[in-house]
A = this chain, B = another copy of it.
């Protein structure tokens, strides 16, 4: 059994961050669960375009307010506590935080922890050689 506390991990190397976004990696590929699980905080007023070409991701809003736009069709959906979006078609999307968003995110395949967002908003595919 693995026990981890977001509040203990937030200032460790399990947190990936830039000025407008941080993500605490609660579970990564090497935990052997077959998915990874992250708590991600998006700062108020920020906008992010992501495109996970090689991963499925679900995102559940724990707190905050924002919107997600599906760039394939231009549809925008409100994000508030209790709303989940799932990128079942590797959907390219833009996420806007009107208030700080706290999100519970699951990735399949699991993120290894070394990925960075590339210029196209994606993570590299899972690899067996790294």
* A-to-B contact residues, CB < 8 Å: 1-7, 26-27, 31-35, 37, 39, 56, 58, 60, 62, 68, 70, 77, 82-89, 91, 93, 104, 106, 108-109
A88 touches B58 (CB 8 A): no
Instruction: Identify A56's interface contact among B6, B34, B86, CB under 8 A.
Output: B34
Q: Is the interface of A mostly helix, strand, loop or mixed?
A: strand
Residue of B6, B34, B77 near A84 (CB, 8 A) is: B6
A2: chain B residues within 8 A (beta carbon): 84-86, 88
Question: Quick one: which of B35, B82, B88, B106 contacts A1, CB cutoff 8 A?
Answer: B88
Tell which of B3, B27, B89 touches A77, judged by Cβ atoms closer than 8 Å: B3
